[in-house]
């Protein structure tokens, strides 16, 4: 959890064009870590910061994400692989669009260096949301 807290601090500092709330729930199994709202839409972000090459999700998280996506919701997974050397470390953004059972099958929709490119990540999230609603604009 310490690593995810550090990732949360980076997210809230750098994703400034959206309203983000950290959710720490012991009552709802699988609910993602962050609820987000932007002019372009509502979404959730699951944070993963570990030594895995892919986002390791538990069965409850997989079920929750699949149900939410099936209902028409948007969920992103932001994964940081701490096993990579800092100079090569990247944050990867995944957006499941259909049901999955194995997180290793997910393909990142955006990847960037941990040392920068936060405006690009923010733009990528907002563009994903805007694609769902043609009336929403991304600056």
Residue 138 has pLDDT above 60, yes or no: no
Contacts with 49 (C-beta within 8 Å, 6 or more apart), sequence order:
3, 4, 6, 7, 79, 80, 82
- Residue at 138 is within a domain: no
Looking at every residue in the chain, the average pLDDT score rounds to 90
- Residue at 137 is within a domain: no
The CATH number assigned to the domain holding 16 equals 3.40.1350.10
Give the H or E element holding residue 34: strand 34-38
Question: Virtual CA dihedral for 111, 97, 134, 119, nearest 10 degrees?
Answer: -20
* Lowest model confidence (mean pLDDT) among 45-59, 65-79, 103-117: 103-117
- Residue at 139 is within a domain: no
What range defines the domain where residue 111 resides?
2-132
What single-letter DSSP state applies at residue 53? S
Q: Are 18 and 35 a contacting pair, CB within 8 Å?
A: no
* 115 — pLDDT class (breaks 50, 70, 90): confident
Question: Which residue would you say has higher pLDDT here, 114 or 11?
Answer: 11
Q: Could you tell me the pTM of the whole model?
A: 0.90
């Amino acid at each position: 959890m310490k690593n995810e807290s550090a990732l949360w601090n980076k997210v809230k500092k750098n994703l400034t064009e959206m309203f983000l709330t950290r959710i720490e729930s012991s009552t709802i199994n699988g609910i993602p870590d962050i609820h987000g709202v932007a002019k372009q839409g509502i979404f959730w972000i699951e944070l993963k910061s570990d030594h895995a090459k892919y986002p390791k999700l538990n069965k409850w998280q997989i079920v929750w994400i699949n149900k939410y996506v099936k209902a028409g919701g948007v969920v992103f997974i932001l994964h940081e692989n701490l096993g990579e050397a800092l100079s090569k470390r990247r944050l990867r953004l995944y957006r499941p669009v259909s049901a999955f059972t194995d997180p290793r099958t997910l393909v990142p929709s955006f990847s960037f260096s941990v040392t920068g490119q936060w405006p690009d990540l923010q733009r990528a999230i907002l563009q994903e949301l805007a694609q769902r609603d043609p009336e929403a604009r991304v600056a």
